Structure 1
Amino acid sequence: MKQRILTCLIALTCLLAGCGTNAGSSAASQSQEEMRIVATTYPVYLLIRSVTEGVEGVSVERLNTGETSCLHDYTLSVDDMKKVEGADILVLNGAGLEDFMDDALATTTAQVIDCSEHVELLENLAHDHEEGDEDGHDHGHWDPHYWMDPYNVGIMAENIAAGLMAADPDHQQVYRENMLKTTTFLASWKGTLQSLLNWDEGPEITGLITFHDGFQYFAKAFDLPLLAAIEEEAGSEASAKEIQEITALVKEYHLPIIFTEVNGSDATAQAIARETGCAVGQLTMIMDGPEDGTLQDNYYFALKDNVAAIVNGFAGEEIQ
């Protein structure tokens, strides 16, 4: 019964969410007159497409960073380098996420837009791996995964629009209107997602444990208690101490489910599940998606899937 009610509620949100924010020009047909914009991440790519909707002479591309749960060890491919070299504008997530391309940024002649400007950043969650800093992962002081809060994505849209209006004053009005439409949708979507988490017949969500350190903005945005966040990937596995602590938390809070990231490892989570009897679900960091994606289809619905996974998991529903 709870599953049917939740399904109906989620279906209703599709009607309330508003129109999809379709893209600007694709990179398929480029000419020398086009303004070439390159995004470093998929959420940034979706936002650029939203803000440039209806503007002719703009091509939007993205780096090949999608199929990974952590960009800190990413290396630019030959194709990436060609995109960076040919870009008129580079749009970054910022907050230290693009440390992997410091050399390329130091030599580029493109205009650079940093989407993290004016975002209230959170400190990186502390890691206590047995190897300490010897695993080669330096995540910096600030947590760069701020796009997991729709409010912050609105700030990103404002930063992108400001940069594009400066670079292309002929289309200032269109960029401004698209930005305002985008931020309006984002505010509405955040409210709808919050209502799904707070519905009267929903389960009590006693705490989240995630095997990725990028969900604290999501948890804070939707008032979800984040009990632990462990980065679990090749070269950065959970320590024995962390496994013991997580197992104890699952038992203490009677957690019915713990979560991995869709592109990350689930080895430790599955081991803890076998010991405690909890389920293992998946959440997405929205690192990848189709080239013709939209904010509604590939950002909002991805967050909605996260919410559904959490609500269903704590309701004891089967994880699909």
Structure 2
Amino acid sequence: MKKFLILLCIFAVVTLASAGITKGLKSKEAAPLDEFTIVTSFYPVYIATKNIANGVDGVKVVNMTENHSGCLHDYQLTTSDMRKLEDADVFVMNGGGMEGFIEEVAAKYPDLPVIDASEGIVLIGPAAGHHHEHGHDEEPEEYEHHHEANAHVWMDPVRYKKQIKTISKKLENLDKLNAKAYEKNQKAYEKKIDLIEEQLNALKDENHTEIITFHEAFSYLADYLGNDIVYCMDLDNESGLSAGEIAEVINEVKKHNVRALFTETANRDSIANNISAETNAKVYVLNSLTSDKDSLDAYINGMQKNINVLKGAFGK
């Protein structure tokens, strides 16, 4: 009887162990072993990449930073960011100096392919007292180094489409199995951008109206439309602007007879309002599209709202 009980216990243990192994094998088989994971640096390239990979089987797009985090100026990598990069098959970044942490990423993940969406795109200068004009295909000598340039490329639809194409082509080379799907999505998304471009073309300014902006992202819109920025302040917050600087802006408004002040949705607009109260210039609020909902049409909807604001500002 004792021997029988021992054999019965051994049988039970073996049965449970077998069940556990079988369950483990099933769980492992259920996991998407061949999943291709794309990690993006922040919101604008996340939305672009998400459109390119939309509906492609076995492909997952993950945004490294939060969708509401805004630009990556002085951004420090977190433990959560590192965990996402651990699982990445490719890292897509905006480029142009936006991701100051890219050297750290390269050092920790030397084998991780990196797509620079701004590769080959002419960048315009940093936020400064005056806007330096140049065309899309002219390389400004004073801005050869990316870290000195304005990285908000996506605000210009022509440059943005170049970013989309670069991301798509690089993904096609890295993930050849889904190359045709990426290309199809790229072309479909570009057609949506074409409609935005057509509306912006109707707002192009042959008179080179002089404006003042409170976010360097709008330099790309001004460059595209033909506006002249007489003064640009990149305000991530309002704490650093002195009374003397505000007085300087007011002088510029009066000197150039500026009628439009463009501020950003993410910033408090009291400085712009104060300047408006001292002059005849009116405040208009634009969206730099650096954060919003997790939506495929986020860029399209955001730019459409910007176009409506611009129509009001320029009376078109």
TM more than 0.5:
yes
- Aligned residue in 1 for 2:6: none
* Residue aligned with 1:140, SS: helix
Change (3 A) 1:208 1:307: farther
Q: Distance in 2 between matches of 1:263 and 1:73?
A: 17
Structure 2 counterpart of 1:273, from 258, 273, 276: 276
Deviation sequence 1:19-66 (CA, Å, 0-9, x none): xxxxxxxxxx98332111111121211111221123100111112254
* Residue aligned with 1:226, SS: strand
Residues 207 and 226 of structure 1 are in contact (CA less than 8 Å); yes or no, is this contact kept in structure 2?
Answer: yes
Q: How many residues align?
A: 270
* Residue aligned with 2:38, SS: strand
Shift of 1:253: 4.1
Shift of 1:235: 7.7
- Aligned residue in 1 for 2:158: 151
- Aligned residue in 2 for 1:163: 170
Shift of 1:117: 0.9
- Aligned residue in 2 for 1:124: 126
Residues 43 and 70 of structure 2 are in contact (CA less than 8 Å); yes or no, is this contact kept in structure 1?
Answer: no
* Residue aligned with 1:99, SS: coil
Deviation sequence 1:260-308 (CA, Å, 0-9, x none): 11112423222212222543221111011222x12xx311221221222
* Residue aligned with 2:230, SS: strand
* Residue aligned with 1:260, SS: strand
* Residue aligned with 1:143, SS: coil
* Residue aligned with 2:236, SS: coil
* Residue aligned with 2:147, SS: coil
Change (3 A) 1:217 1:71: same
Shift of 1:96: 0.7
Residues 215 and 232 of structure 2 are in contact (CA less than 8 Å); yes or no, is this contact kept in structure 1?
Answer: yes
Q: Distance in 1 between matches of 2:305 and 2:197?
A: 13
Residues 48 and 164 of structure 2 are in contact (CA less than 8 Å); yes or no, is this contact kept in structure 1?
Answer: yes
Shift of 1:254: 3.8
Shift of 1:180: 2.4
- Aligned residue in 1 for 2:56: 55
Q: Does 1:40 align with 2:41?
A: yes
- Aligned residue in 2 for 1:75: 76
- Which letter maps to 1:300? I
- Aligned residue in 2 for 1:115: 117
Q: Distance in 2 between matches of 1:261 and 1:167?
A: 37
* Residue aligned with 2:77, SS: coil
- Aligned residue in 1 for 2:301: 301
Residues 164 and 175 of structure 1 are in contact (CA less than 8 Å); yes or no, is this contact kept in structure 2?
Answer: yes
- Aligned residue in 2 for 1:84: 85
- Aligned residue in 2 for 1:12: none
Instruction: Map 1:206-221; keep pairs closer than 5 Å.
Output: 206-221=209-224
Q: Does 1:183 align with 2:185?
A: no
Indicate the percent of aligned positions where both proteins have the same amino acid.
30
TM-score (norm 1): 0.75
Residues 40 and 91 of structure 1 are in contact (CA less than 8 Å); yes or no, is this contact kept in structure 2?
Answer: yes
Residues 128 and 232 of structure 2 are in contact (CA less than 8 Å); yes or no, is this contact kept in structure 1?
Answer: no
Higher mean displacement: 258-267 or 107-116? 258-267
Residues 45 and 92 of structure 2 are in contact (CA less than 8 Å); yes or no, is this contact kept in structure 1?
Answer: yes
- Aligned residue in 1 for 2:251: 248
**Structure 1 unaligned blocks of 5 or more:** 1-28, 129-138
Q: Distance in 2 between matches of 1:223 and 1:235?
A: 28
Residues 204 and 224 of structure 2 are in contact (CA less than 8 Å); yes or no, is this contact kept in structure 1?
Answer: no
- Which letter maps to 1:79? S
Change (3 A) 1:311 1:205: farther
Relative contact order (alpha carbons < 8 A, sep ≥ 6): 1 or 2 greater? 1
* Root-mean-square deviation (Å): 2.7
**Structure 2 unaligned blocks of 5 or more:** 1-29, 131-145
Residues 258 and 280 of structure 1 are in contact (CA less than 8 Å); yes or no, is this contact kept in structure 2?
Answer: yes
Q: Distance in 1 between matches of 2:189 and 2:83?
A: 30
- Aligned residue in 2 for 1:5: none
Change (3 A) 1:233 1:164: closer
**Post-superposition, which runs of at least 4 consecutive aligned residues in structure 1 deviate over 6 A?**
none
Residues 68 and 264 of structure 1 are in contact (CA less than 8 Å); yes or no, is this contact kept in structure 2?
Answer: no
Residues 193 and 304 of structure 1 are in contact (CA less than 8 Å); yes or no, is this contact kept in structure 2?
Answer: no
Q: Distance in 1 between matches of 2:31 and 2:48?
A: 20
